[in-house]
Amino acid sequence: MKKVLLVPLMLSVLTFTICAQANSTQNPPQGEGMKIKISINDREVTATMFDNAAARDFVSLFPLTLTLKDYNRIEKVSDLPKRLSTVGSSSSYAPVIGDICYYSPWGNLCIFYKPFSNSSGLVLIGKIDGNGIEAFTVSDSLAVKFEVIP
């Protein structure tokens, strides 16, 4: 009888361990960092940058103007003037709507307006505040200026 009860318990522990390991590849925010302003034409959107190495490197480039191009009708992307540090970051991330990420294999910025699957090399660096993400859903390229909110 004890052996019969032990098998479901062992399976539960194994399942919990596998799920915990799968989620450990995510890049959970390392505490909230600073607020930024993203200017798109005559519209301003705010975002919160997380406290991690890639986010700090990105903010150190401000003020920064980029042209964001649509990629696969899921996200807006742009090359950055330099590669960002990924020290302490997880190896992959599954983005959701409003995530601001750094894709380390290509060295570019990504702003997701649709969710996407877990991607190796993707680092979460911030999040669009409120419902400002609709500004990024247009099919055209966008000239965007990033600034720190004092």
The pLDDT tens digits of the residues spanning 70-112 come to 999 999 999 999 999 999 998 999 999 999 999 999 999 999 9
Residue 135 tokens read as 């500004």
Q: Provide CB contacts within 8 A for 17, sequence distance 6+.
A: none
Choice between 15 and 136, residue whose per-residue pLDDT is larger:
136
Dihedral sign from CA coordinates of 50, 72, 97, 39? positive
8-state DSSP, 65: E
pLDDT score, position 32: 59
Query: Mean pLDDT score of the chain, rounded to an integer?
Result: 84
What's at 1, amino acid-wise? M
Q: Where are the domains of the chain?
A: 2-148
Residues 86, 110: Cα–Cα separation, whole Å: 15
* pTM score above 0.75: yes
Report residue 74: phi and psi, to 5°.
Answer: -125, -35
Choice between 21 and 87, residue whose per-residue pLDDT is larger:
87
Q: Are 77 and 110 in contact (CB under 8 A)?
A: yes
- Assess whether pLDDT exceeds 90 at residue 25: no
- Assess whether pLDDT exceeds 90 at residue 30: no
Intra-chain end-to-end CA distance of the chain, in Å: 66
Which residue, 41, 46, 48, is CA-closest to 141?
Answer: 41
Percentage of residues in the chain having pLDDT higher than 90: 73
Decide which of 1.10.3720.10, 2.40.50.100, 1.10.10.10, 2.40.100.20 is the CATH code for 2-148: 2.40.100.20
